Amino acid sequence: MASRILLAIVLSFARMAVAAESAPEHPSAQFGQLLFKDDFREGLGQWHVELEKPGVVAANIGMLNVDVPAGATLWFKPALRGPVAIVFEAMAVSAGGRNDRVSDLNCFWMARNRDGVSPVYARKRSGKFDDYNNLLTYYVGLGGNSNTTTRFRRYIGDPVTRPLLPEHDLSSPETLLKANRWQTITVIARGTQIEYWRNNERLIQFTDDEPYREGWFALRTTQSHLRLEKFRVYALK
| pTM beyond cutoff 0.85 | yes
Query: What whole-number distance in Å separates Cα of residue 100 and Cα of residue 230?
Result: 22
The H or E element spanning position 231 is: strand 214-236
Average confidence (pLDDT) over 49-70: 97
Q: What is the model's pLDDT at position 13?
A: 42
**Residue 137 CA to chain centroid, in angstroms?**
12
Average confidence (pLDDT) over 67-85: 98
Average pLDDT along the chain: 92
Dihedral sign for Cα atoms in the order 187, 190, 195, 197: negative
Average confidence (pLDDT) over 144-153: 98
- CA torsion 112-116-118-122 (nearest 10°) is -90
pLDDT level of residue 10 (50, 70, 90 thresholds): very low
Phi-psi sector, 182: left (phi>0), alpha (psi -120 to 50), beta: beta
CATH fold of 29-236 reads: Jelly Rolls (2.60.120)
Query: What whole-number distance in Å separates Cα of residue 147 and Cα of residue 69?
Result: 16
**Residue 121 CA to chain centroid, in angstroms?**
21
Query: What whole-number distance in Å separates Cα of residue 144 and Cα of residue 105?
Result: 7
Q: What is the model's pLDDT at position 34?
A: 98
With beta carbons less than 8 A apart as the criterion, state whether 213 and 188 touch. Answer: no
Give 147-152 contacts, CB < 8 A, sequence gap 24+: 147/92, 147/101, 147/102, 147/103, 147/176, 147/177, 148/176, 149/176, 150/175, 150/176, 150/203, 152/196, 152/204, 152/206
Q: What is the model's pLDDT at position 17?
A: 41
All residues at 6 or more sequence positions from 79 whose CB lies less than 8 Å from its CB, including other chains: 118, 214, 215, 216
Lowest mean pLDDT among 18-27, 52-61, 114-123, 186-195: 18-27
Give the pLDDT confidence of 77-102 residue by residue, as tens digits: 999 999 999 999 999 999 999 999 99
Average confidence (pLDDT) over 110-125: 89
For the ranges 10-19, 111-120, 196-205, the maximum mean pLDDT occurs at 196-205
Average confidence (pLDDT) over 182-199: 98
With beta carbons less than 8 A apart as the criterion, state whether 139 and 106 touch. Answer: yes
Give me the residue spans of the domains in the chain: 29-236
pLDDT level of residue 2 (50, 70, 90 thresholds): low
Query: What whole-number distance in Å separates Cα of residue 129 and Cα of residue 58?
Result: 21
Q: What is the model's pLDDT at position 18?
A: 38
Q: What is the model's pLDDT at position 96?
A: 97
Q: What is the model's pLDDT at position 23?
A: 74
Dihedral sign for Cα atoms in the order 158, 159, 160, 166: positive
Judged by DSSP in three states, 32 sits in: strand
Lowest mean pLDDT among 39-53, 82-96, 108-122, 180-194: 108-122
Longest pairwise C-alpha distance within the chain: 75
